[in-house]
Amino acid sequence: MSKDHSYTPNYFWSILTMKCPRCRRGSMFQNGHAYKKFSLKHIFDMPDHCPVCQQKYEMEPGFWYGTGYVSYALTVALSVASFIAWLVLIGMSTKDNRIFYWLGFNAVLLVLLQPWLMRLSRVVYIRFFVGYDPDFNKSKPKEFK
């Protein structure tokens, strides 16, 4: 990885690759992706601080409880998107069971994507509180008390 801090990492790419909100370079999770191990007990293994800028991830006890709201919003958005895609590609009718097929498809999709969505909700949630700092190596990380 380059030590050149003169460029600004892309905002959306840093969310999708689950990077620190302050420097957009350090990884927020110890494992590279949510599906690395079949056991989900290590899905939220996070370092205490960003390895690049030293931003503390859990800023106060119970900080991550708010991710439930973000996860819910992401799940609803994904369900609406899959419904629209199903409606456009396959269609809906009152004369057959296509709505039930979509419900089954959507349930399987959400179950399969849940580990990734839970991680993504943490990444999005912390960005409400910690913004990008282009001079992160010259200033102190944001702290809550």
Determine the pLDDT at residue 108: 96
Which residues have C-beta within 8 Å of that of residue 52, sequence separation ≥ 6? 20, 23, 25, 26, 136
Q: What are the two backbone dihedrals, phi and then psi, of residue 108, each rounded to the nearest 5 degrees?
A: -65, -45
b/e map 60-99, b = 16+ CB within 10 Å? eeebbeebeebbeebbeeebeeebeebeeeeeeeeeeeee
> Could you give the CA distance from residue 87 to residue 142 in angstroms, rounded to a whole number?
45
Determine the pLDDT at residue 145: 58
Name the residue type at position 22: R
Query: Which pTM was predicted?
Result: 0.81
Return the SS3 of 19: strand
Whether the pLDDT of residue 46 is over 90: the answer is no
Greater model confidence, 76 or 47: 76
